[in-house]
Structures are given as structure tokens and as C-alpha cells.
């Protein structure tokens, strides 16, 4: 029997605290070598793309494997449709039996935000209070929600190429969190003077310049998740402590992928993985004046860990529908 869970059922049990705990467990397992996480497969299409993300993870609560099939169609919002949506299948690695078939749209948003917050916890200065956001789409919302869990943010500056998006994002943050939020007229104004910077754009050109970034800044580079994408001036990477979620995947699709191919950055310049830091194998921030970068590409093990936690909570609360797809 497989437990079928819709997005509305998932949102009855999903919150950022659960996502943070699940993502921390995933990166701890990654750092301790308790995962099998091949790089994601990418299917480019005319108007969008699909990614297949699959893996295996040993968690304190059990051993799980599975696959997420995720769609990204950037033009969809113009027609009233979601740009990003997905499905997650969970399987028993010992028998192959399917345990769950669930919508992964909110799982993707929350686990990505949680990974950003986990990086902030280990790499940003403890006294960080100023947050700059370049990009005001769906992922920007969960990045802020998660970061507020780990740092006492007092002021947020938002930049978006689409001003209505920036204004709507500002209004939501003010209403929900009561924070001081400013909409910047330029990218530089959103970057300069920040303690933490989050970039969530689908850019294929570096648009955050090195001279804008002050000593001691931590950057979550979230937008680069496909070959050819990049948001940061390669000069930032050269002078920063660069941490990746997974080196094999980051080399192919992360913020470092273009600089690596162009010889503007080398693998030897990568400090390590977030999993190594979470597992205590390497320290996080070492110097309060250093620039740190987290290159977030999104790992299948994040989805599996959070999906497994949601599966158990949903069963406890009687959510979803048990179905047998085979006679």
C-alpha cells in the first residue's frame, strides 16, 4: 500500500521547524557518509525543464530511498500557473515497496529555505541583523522565513527586476513579521552593507559585483541550479570561503559551474560541504571579516528526509489515502 498525499494534506503537517530538523538530519547524514546521492538529471524543454532527483539515506528513524520529479516552467505565472511543481515517491530500499506518493511543491520550497538557514547558522556572523534579498519570487519567501529562525534579523532590503513583486514581498514581510523592509531601486543597494545576502534569480550572468560585498558578509547563492546559470561575480568566489551542498552536483549545475568551466575558479578553492560542517569535520565561519558563500543546488536527500518525516506525521494524523497500485 502507498500513502497518497496532496499538497493541501502536506500543508496540514509541514512547517519550517520540521523542515529545519529534517534538512539538518539530511546534511548530517551527508557529512557522515550515510547517503547515496547521485547528481540530478536534467531534461531541458522548449518552455521549461524537468529534473529527476533520486537517492538513498540512512536516517535515525529509518532507511529510505526515492525520487523527485520536479518541473520548472518560468513563463507559467504569466498564465496563472505555478512555475515550479513536483512529485516525490518514497520507497523501501530493502524490498522496493512504494511507501508514499506525495506532492513535492511545498516540500521543495521549505527544504530549500531550510538549507539556506542551516548555512546561515554555521556561516553567517552570530550578530547578523541585516538581510539583503536579490529576487522576490517564491523561494525568497521561504528563505526569509527560515533565516528568521536562526538569526535576529531586524532589517531586510529587497530588490527585484519586477517592481510589483518587490512591493508585494515587502508588504507580506511587514504584515507577517513586523520587520523594517525597504525596496531597493538597484541590485547594488540591496547588496551593499548587508550581513547576509540571498540571491534567488534564474540568471545566466553574474550580477552581484565583488566591490558591493563588504567583509563579513555571508551569501546564500540559491538561483544557480542548472548548467550555465550564475549570479555572483567570480571574483567573489576567489576571495570567499565557498561551501557547497554537494561537490559533484555543484560542479555541474551550481554557482561554481560556469567559473569552473572558464578557468576562473578551481575545485581546490572549495572549502568543503555543508554536511562536513554540520558533522563537525570542518569549522564553519572562522574569521568575522571573511566572506562566506553557500552554493545551494538542492539535494535529493533533503526531499527524502523531509518527505519521510511528513509521511510518518500524516499517518499518525490519518491524512492521505492508502492505495494499492497493483492487484
**H or E element in which residue 119 lies:** helix 105-123
Backbone angles phi, psi at 265, to 5 degrees: -160, 150
Q: Which of 305, 250, 313 is nearest to 35 (CA)?
A: 305
Give the three cell numbers for residue 143. Answer: 528563505
What are 108-135's pLDDT values in tens digits? Answer: 999 999 999 999 999 999 999 999 999 9
Structural domain includes residue 82? yes
Collapse the DSSP code of 81 into the 3-class scheme (helix H, G, I; strand E, B; otherwise coil) and give the result.
Answer: coil
**198 and 314 share one domain:** no
Structural domain includes residue 117? no
Give the three cell numbers for residue 313. Answer: 506525521
Give me the sign of the Cα torsion angle 40, 45, 47, 50: negative
**151 and 294 share one domain:** yes
Structural domain includes residue 115? no
**207 and 188 share one domain:** yes
**187 and 250 share one domain:** yes
Collapse the DSSP code of 142 into the 3-class scheme (helix H, G, I; strand E, B; otherwise coil) and give the result.
Answer: helix
Residue whose cell numbers read 528568521: 148
**158 and 31 share one domain:** no
**pLDDT tens across the length of the chain (327 residues):** 899 999 999 999 999 999 999 999 999 999 999 999 999 999 999 999 999 999 999 999 999 999 999 999 988 888 889 888 999 999 999 999 999 999 999 999 999 999 999 999 999 999 999 999 999 988 999 999 999 999 999 999 999 999 999 999 999 999 999 999 999 999 999 999 999 999 999 899 999 999 999 999 999 999 988 899 999 999 999 999 999 999 999 999 999 999 999 999 999 999 999 999 999 999 999 999 999 999 999 999 999 999 999 999 999 999 999 999 876
- Helix then strand then coil, in percent of the chain rounded to 5, is 35, 30, 35
Output the domain CATH number for residue 28: 3.30.1780.10
**14 and 132 share one domain:** no
Structural domain includes residue 158? yes
Structural domain includes residue 114? no
pLDDT, residue 82, reads 87
Q: Which of 40, 34, 41, 39 is nearest to 56 (CA)?
A: 34
Structural domain includes residue 227? yes
**316 and 294 share one domain:** no
What is the per-residue DSSP string for 188-248?
Answer: HHHHTT-SEEEE----EEEEE-GGGPPTT-EEEE-S--STT-EEE-HHHHHHSEEEES-HH
* Active site annotation includes 68: yes
- Active-site residue, selected from the candidate residues 68, 149, 238, 282: 68
The domain total for the chain is 2
**129 and 250 share one domain:** yes
Structural domain includes residue 230? yes
Residue 28: give the domain boundaries: 2-108+301-323
Structural domain includes residue 120? no
**193 and 234 share one domain:** yes
pLDDT, residue 78, reads 83
**103 and 168 share one domain:** no
C-alpha neighbours within 13 Å on the C-beta side of residue 312: 10
C-alpha neighbours within 13 Å on the C-beta side of residue 130: 12
**129 and 262 share one domain:** yes
Q: What is the rounded CA–CA span in Å between residue 327 and residue 321?
A: 17
Q: What is the rounded CA–CA span in Å between residue 116 and residue 222?
A: 8
Amino acid at each position: 500500500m502507498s500513502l497518497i498525499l496532496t499538497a493541501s494534506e502536506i500543508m496540514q503537517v509541514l512547517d519550517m521547524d520540521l523542515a529545519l530538523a529534517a534538512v539538518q538530519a539530511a546534511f548530517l547524514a551527508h557529512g557522515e557518509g550515510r547517503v547515496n546521492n547521485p547528481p540530478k538529471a536534467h531534461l531541458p524543454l522548449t518552455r521549461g525543464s524537468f529534473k529527476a532527483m533520486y537517492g538513498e539515506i540512512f536516517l535515525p528513524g529509518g532507511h529510505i530511498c526515492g525520487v523527485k520529479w520536479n518541473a520548472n516552467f518560468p513563463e507559467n505565472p504569466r498564465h496563472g500557473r505555478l512555475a515550479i511543481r513536483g512529485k516525490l515517491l518514497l520507497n523501501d530500499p530493502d524490498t522496493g515497496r512504494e511507501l508514499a506518493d506525495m506532492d513535492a511543491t511545498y516540500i521543495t520550497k521549505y527544504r530549500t529555505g531550510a538549507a539556506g538557514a542551516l548555512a546561515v547558522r554555521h556561516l553567517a556572523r552570530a550578530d547578523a541583523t541585516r538581510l539583503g534579498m536579490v529576487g522576490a519570487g517564491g523561494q525568497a519567501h521561504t528563505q526569509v522565513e527560515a533565516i528568521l529562525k536562526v538569526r535576529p534579523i531586524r532589517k531586510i532590503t529587497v530588490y527585484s527586476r519586477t517592481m510589483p513583486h518587490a512591493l508585494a514581498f515587502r508588504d507580506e514581510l511587514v504584515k507577517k513579521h513586523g520587520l523594517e523592509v525597504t525596496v531597493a531601486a538597484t541590485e547594488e543597494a540591496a547588496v551593499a552593507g548587508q550581513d547576509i545576502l540571498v540571491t534567488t534569480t534564474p540568471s545566466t550572468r553574474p550580477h552581484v559585483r565583488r566591490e558591493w560585498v563588504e567583509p563579513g558578509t555571508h551569501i546564500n547563492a540559491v538561483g544557480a541550479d542548472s548548467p550555465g546559470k550564475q549570479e555572483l561575480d567570480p571574483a567573489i568566489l576567489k576571495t570567499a570561503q565557498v561551501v557547497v551542498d554537494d561537490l559533484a552536483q555543484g560542479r555541474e549545475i551550481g554557482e561554481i559551474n560556469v567559473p569552473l568551466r572558464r578557468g576562473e575558479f578551481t575545485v581546490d578553492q572549495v572549502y568543503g560541504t555543508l554536511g562536513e560542517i554540520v558533522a563537525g569535520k570542518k569549522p564553519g565561519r572562522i574569521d568575522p571579516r571573511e566572506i562566506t558563500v553557500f552554493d545551494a543546488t538542492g539535494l535529493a536527500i533533503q526531499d527524502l528526509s523531509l518527505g519521510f518525516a511528513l509521511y510518518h506525521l500524516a499517518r499518525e494524523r490519518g491524512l492521505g489515502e492508502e492505495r494499492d497500485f497493483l492487484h
